[in-house]
Amino acid sequence: MSGEQAEVGDSEFEQRARAVLTQSAEQLPGAVRSRLTQARFAALAARPARGPSFARRWVPAGAAAAAVLALLVVYAPYGRGPAENPVANAGLEDIELLTDNDAVPLNGDQDVDYDFYEWAADEADGTTASALGS
Amino acid sequence: MAAFASLDTQTADLVPPGKAHLRDSTQDAARALETFLASVERKAFRIAQIALRHEADALDVVQDAMLQLSTRYAARPPEEWRPLFYRILENRVRDVQRRRSVRNRVMAYMPWRGEDQEDAADPIDQAVDRAPLPPAQLESDEAMAALEQAIAGLPARQRQAFLLRNFEGLDVAETAATMKCSQGSVKTHYFRALHALRAKLGEFRT
């Protein structure tokens, strides 16, 4: 294929072709030239100016950023974060309650002095009996 | 250059006082773009016309390409404009050819085909002018017609490579960028186009 990869040369054929094509472009009818000029003016008029282009590029971006920030402020879960979540911290609280000496005993039955209550009951019965006997 | 008067007025209105350097650079960029478009518009029209064989379609295609370059790529470095412009142009040419192909396929099934002659060429415009032409002009016209017909008959890539390299004068790298292919492919397409044109036209005279 390297043999086919020829550069543009200055062969007579190429020169003639270029001359014919260039001549045809230079001799376009007036109506076509006029349309081309109008098209060029329209394209230049539609070209975005630099200042407004900068504003057009950054104002919507700023507005979008502000909207996202506003949404975050309104809907952000302040006070309901993981640190304040009761379910997540239930285990930690249980440990604190169980190890707290001043807290109300959760398993109170183990600390009840049943002997005291029996003695008190006996004493109360004896007192009553002696009082009745006397 | 008459466009500059209105453009300068428009840009002057856009730039606030104290920002004269911005206004100057904007005007310079507009002037550079104006110069570029003026330098390519006629050749671009001929390239589109050879590909489409239709004057109005070729004008529309060139106008679209100018508009797109101006609105989307004017901020690019000027040395990139030429390949970009011709790539846009070729894409537009292909769009028109596809639309035509679809329309022709659809119209082939329509029972009332042939009745709508809006897009058909005006026979009066197409009529050959019988007024005698100077011999040199006649030869030139004949040479152009033969060359145009031969180029139009080339495969699209060969036609593109030949016109961009030979007519527009793009170098291999610019042509490759325009055609979105390797430089080796450009050389191959160009060589084959040249070979086919020579076989068809011989050493035609201008």
More confident residue, A50 or A67: A67
Domain B135-201 has CATH 3.40.50.1110: no
More confident residue, A35 or A98: A35
Put simply, the answer to whether B184 touches A13 (Cβ < 8 Å) is no
**Residue A20: exposure state from Cβ atoms within 10 A (0-12, 13-18, ≥19):** buried
A vs B, Cβ pairs < 8 A, gives: 140
Q: Given a cut of 80, is residue B36 above it in pLDDT?
A: yes
Domain ranges in chain B are: 14-105, 135-201
The top-level CATH class assigned to B14-105 is mainly alpha
CB contact A10 to B (< 8 Å) = no
pLDDT of residue A97: 63
Say if residues B102 and A81 touch (Cβ distance below 8 Å).
no
How would residue A107 be classed by pLDDT, with cut points 50, 70 and 90?
A: low
The residue assigned the tokens 């005993």 is A105
Average pLDDT, integer, range B64-78 = 93
Distance between CA atoms of A101 and A121, rounded to whole angstroms? 30
Contacts of A46 in chain B (CB under 8 A): 67, 70-71
pTM above 0.90, yes or no: no
Put simply, the answer to whether A44 touches B34 (Cβ < 8 Å) is yes
